[in-house]
């Protein structure tokens, strides 16, 4: 259940840079909010001000309260259309970096910047989801955004080839972008004692972990994993599965669990939502991780062997292990250099490894992740990226009206659904 709560409005220090991460949706438990929190942590380590940008009628889930307080994160609320931003004075900074995670939020900030002629403000659209460049399922409603995307390709930060490829094909554009901005993370020293404990525990209690929002079909692999557990759980008495998450398709997860025999259901734990700062204990206790996106990075940097789940499926397809598919964290089979596999095949491989082989896999997962996903390198690349001159806001007058109308309609529909629940 979601509860609204009051956030303290922390005073900004007015240092030379302000890092703003924005969304037009509820700030839920999920990959994008998790990554935003890491960006805020990085900004704090650099002595920069940081703020979360979110519409006034959207919610911030209570699982983020501790992080908001610990980071002294400023919350910037805005109306639709954006008339002014609360609790911030853009003109007082040498540079304001605004990172939007969806097309609605990007256009709101892009339009606001040009309307007010803020030369010190850079607005980027960070594509962290394969379908981030669309706002609705029906293509007709997305067509008004094509010109905006075409003219602003330099401002779009594609996470990987999958996000870029979808944008190209959907809008019939030639992106010509060879640089990707992966999902960055922090890397403490590898905990070798933790790996020794994993090796010891895996013999009697081999725990498979997955962490995801129950948003299907995007993360429908959870259903496939449950079915795989139904097969392997009979063969391997030491095998257990922990599922951390919740979401709109919670009923489908419970339905899949109820189809399994009672002895197999007892080997599967469904935790519900877990606060971000409490997730590490789950990575520490696991023997193998299965997932995609940001949690895949978190697991691998903990020295946990990880399987890359394929998005948009209800089965058990995978491109294989993260240390070989580190640049394909969405598990896109078409972009993989390897043959498609199944969870069952990969899990069997890991179960049959000797202690020495398993130890080597733990080390390989950590060092592969560290090589390609250092948040320092990624954020430095974003900060030094240049943008063009201020444009005339009148150029996007129609899109401004259209986008506002569509956003407000979506919010009203979502609020009605919440009331029915």
Condensed to tens digits (0 to 9), the pLDDT of residues 176-193 reads 766 899 999 999 899 999
Mean pLDDT along residues 36-47: 95
Query: Looking at the structure, do residues 226 and 244 belong to the same domain, yes or no?
Result: yes
Please report the pLDDT score of residue 36 as a whole number.
96
pLDDT at 239 over 90: yes
- Does the CA dihedral 70-72-73-79 come out positive or negative? positive
Max CA separation in the chain (angstroms): 66
pLDDT at 306 over 80: yes
Please report the pLDDT score of residue 3 as a whole number.
42
Report yes or no on 6 lying in a domain.
no
Query: Looking at the structure, do residues 65 and 177 belong to the same domain, yes or no?
Result: yes
Query: Looking at the structure, do residues 225 and 253 belong to the same domain, yes or no?
Result: yes
Report yes or no on 127 lying in a domain.
yes
Q: What does the DSSP 8-state code read for residue 199?
A: H
- Measured in Å, how far apart are the chain's first and last C-alpha atoms? 10
Please report the pLDDT score of residue 5 as a whole number.
45
Q: What does the DSSP 8-state code read for residue 378?
A: H
pLDDT at 16 over 60: yes
404-to-22, 280, 409 alpha-carbon distances in Å: 16, 39, 8
Please report the pLDDT score of residue 256 as a whole number.
96
Report yes or no on 68 lying in a domain.
yes
Q: Where are the alpha helices (DSSP H) in 172-310?
A: 192-201, 221-235, 250-258, 262-265, 280-285, 293-301
Please report the pLDDT score of residue 421 as a whole number.
62
* Residue where the block lists tokens 């078409």: 334
Query: Looking at the structure, do residues 237 and 368 belong to the same domain, yes or no?
Result: yes
Query: Looking at the structure, do residues 392 and 304 belong to the same domain, yes or no?
Result: no
- What's the order of all strands across the beta sheet hosting 74-78? 74-78, 49-55, 17-22, 95-100, 121-127, 156-158
In whole angstroms, give the CA distance from residue 271 to residue 325: 28
Please report the pLDDT score of residue 99 as a whole number.
97
Please report the pLDDT score of residue 104 as a whole number.
94
Query: Looking at the structure, do residues 367 and 412 belong to the same domain, yes or no?
Result: no
Please report the pLDDT score of residue 177 as a whole number.
65
In whole angstroms, give the CA distance from residue 41 to residue 24: 21
Please report the pLDDT score of residue 223 as a whole number.
97
Please report the pLDDT score of residue 328 as a whole number.
87
Spatial CA neighbour of 211 closest among 180, 242, 186, 236: 242
The CATH number linked to 275 is 3.40.50.2000
| 240: β partners | 207
Query: Looking at the structure, do residues 131 and 197 belong to the same domain, yes or no?
Result: no
In whole angstroms, give the CA distance from residue 367 to residue 369: 5
Please report the pLDDT score of residue 337 as a whole number.
67
Report yes or no on 9 lying in a domain.
no
Query: Looking at the structure, do residues 328 and 357 belong to the same domain, yes or no?
Result: yes
User: Which tokens in the block code for residue 320?
Assistant: 């294989």
Report yes or no on 292 lying in a domain.
yes
Which of 78-92, 296-310, 373-387 is predicted with the least confidence, judged by mean pLDDT?
A: 78-92
How big is the CA angle at 268 (ends 266 and 270), to the nearest 5 degrees?
A: 115
Which residues span the domain enclosing 162? 17-184+379-420
Which of 373, 392, 409 marks a domain boundary? 373
pLDDT at 340 over 90: no
Query: Looking at the structure, do residues 384 and 272 belong to the same domain, yes or no?
Result: no
pLDDT at 417 over 80: no
Residue 144, Cα to own-chain centre: how many angstroms? Answer: 26
pLDDT at 316 over 50: yes
β-pairing, 156-158 with 206-211?
unpaired
Residue 1 pLDDT level (bands cut at 50, 70, 90)? very low
Q: What percent of the chain has pLDDT over 70?
A: 95
pLDDT at 10 over 60: no
Mean pLDDT along residues 358-372: 96
Q: Give me the number of domains the chain comprises.
A: 2
Query: Looking at the structure, do residues 368 and 383 belong to the same domain, yes or no?
Result: no
Residue 6 pLDDT level (bands cut at 50, 70, 90)? very low
Which of 373, 390, 406 marks a domain boundary? 373
Please report the pLDDT score of residue 15 as a whole number.
57
Query: Looking at the structure, do residues 72 and 208 belong to the same domain, yes or no?
Result: no
The CATH number linked to 88 is 3.40.50
Residue 14 pLDDT level (bands cut at 50, 70, 90)? very low
379 phi, psi to nearest 5 deg: -70, -35
- Contact predicate 363/176, CB 8 Å: no
Which of 28-32, 333-337, 407-411 is predicted with the least confidence, judged by mean pLDDT?
A: 333-337
Element spanning 358, H or E? helix 355-372
Report yes or no on 5 lying in a domain.
no
Please report the pLDDT score of residue 192 as a whole number.
94
Please report the pLDDT score of residue 276 as a whole number.
80
Mean pLDDT along residues 144-167: 92
Report yes or no on 222 lying in a domain.
yes
The per-residue pLDDT of the chain, averaged, comes to 90
Spatial CA neighbour of 158 closest among 325, 366, 329: 329
Report yes or no on 165 lying in a domain.
yes
> How many CB atoms within 10 Å of residue 278?
12
Mean pLDDT along residues 150-158: 93
Q: What percent of the chain has pLDDT over 90?
A: 72
Query: Looking at the structure, do residues 43 and 109 belong to the same domain, yes or no?
Result: yes
Mean pLDDT along residues 41-64: 92
- For the stretch 115-146, pLDDT in tens is 999 999 999 999 998 899 999 989 999 999 99
DSSP letters, 62-91, are GGGHHHHHHHT-EEEEE-SS----TT--GG
pLDDT at 11 over 60: no
pLDDT at 296 over 70: yes
């Amino acid at each position: 259940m979601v509860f609204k709560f009051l956030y303290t409005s922390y005073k900004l220090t007015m240092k030379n840079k302000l890092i703003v991460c924005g969304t037009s949706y509820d700030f839920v438990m999920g990959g994008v909010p998790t990554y935003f929190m890491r960006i805020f942590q990085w900004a704090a380590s650099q002595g920069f001000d940081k703020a979360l940008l979110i519409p006034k009628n959207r919610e911030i889930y209570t699982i983020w309260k501790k992080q908001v307080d610990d980071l002294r994160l400023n919350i910037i609320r805005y109306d639709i259309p954006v008339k002014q931003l609360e609790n911030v004075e853009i003109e007082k900074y040498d540079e304001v970096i605004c990172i939007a995670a969806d097309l609605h939020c990007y256009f709101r900030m892009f339009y606001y910047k040009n309307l007010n002629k803020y030369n010190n403000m850079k607005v980027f659209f960070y594509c962290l989801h394969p379908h981030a460049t669309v706002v609705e399922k029906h293509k007709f409603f997305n067509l008004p955004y094509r010109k905006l995307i075409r003219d602003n390709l330099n401002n779009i930060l594609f996470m990987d080839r999958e996000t870029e490829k979808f944008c190209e094909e959907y809008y019939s554009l030639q992106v010509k972008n060879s640089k990707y901005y992966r999902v960055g993370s922090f890397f403490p020293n590898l905990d070798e004692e933790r790996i020794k404990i994993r090796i010891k525990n895996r013999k009697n209690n081999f725990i498979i972990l997955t962490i995801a929002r129950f948003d299907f079909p995007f993360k429908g692999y959870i259903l496939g994993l449950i079915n795989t557990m139904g097969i392997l759980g009979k063969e391997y008495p030491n095998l257990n599965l922990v599922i951390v998450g919740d979401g709109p398709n919670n009923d489908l997860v419970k339905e899949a669990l109820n189809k399994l025999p009672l002895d197999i259901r007892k080997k599967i734990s469904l935790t519900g939502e877990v606060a971000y700062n409490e997730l590490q204990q789950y990575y520490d206790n696991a023997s193998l991780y299965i997932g995609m996106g940001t949690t895949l990075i978190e697991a691998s940097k903990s020295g946990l062997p990880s399987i890359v789940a394929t998005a948009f499926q209800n089965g058990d397809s995978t491109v294989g292990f993260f240390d070989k598919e580190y640049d394909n964290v969405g598990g896109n089979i078409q972009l993989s250099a390897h043959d498609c596999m199944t969870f069952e095949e990969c899990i069997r491989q890991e179960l049959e490894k000797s202690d020495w082989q398993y130890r080597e896999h733990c080390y390989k997962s950590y060092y592969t992740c560290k090589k390609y996903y250092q948040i320092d390198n990624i954020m430095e690349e974003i900060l030094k990226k240049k943008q063009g001159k201020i444009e005339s806001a009148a150029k996007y007058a129609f899109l401004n009206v259209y986008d506002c109308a569509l956003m407000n309609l979506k919010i009203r529909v979502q609020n009605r659904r919440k009331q029915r629940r």
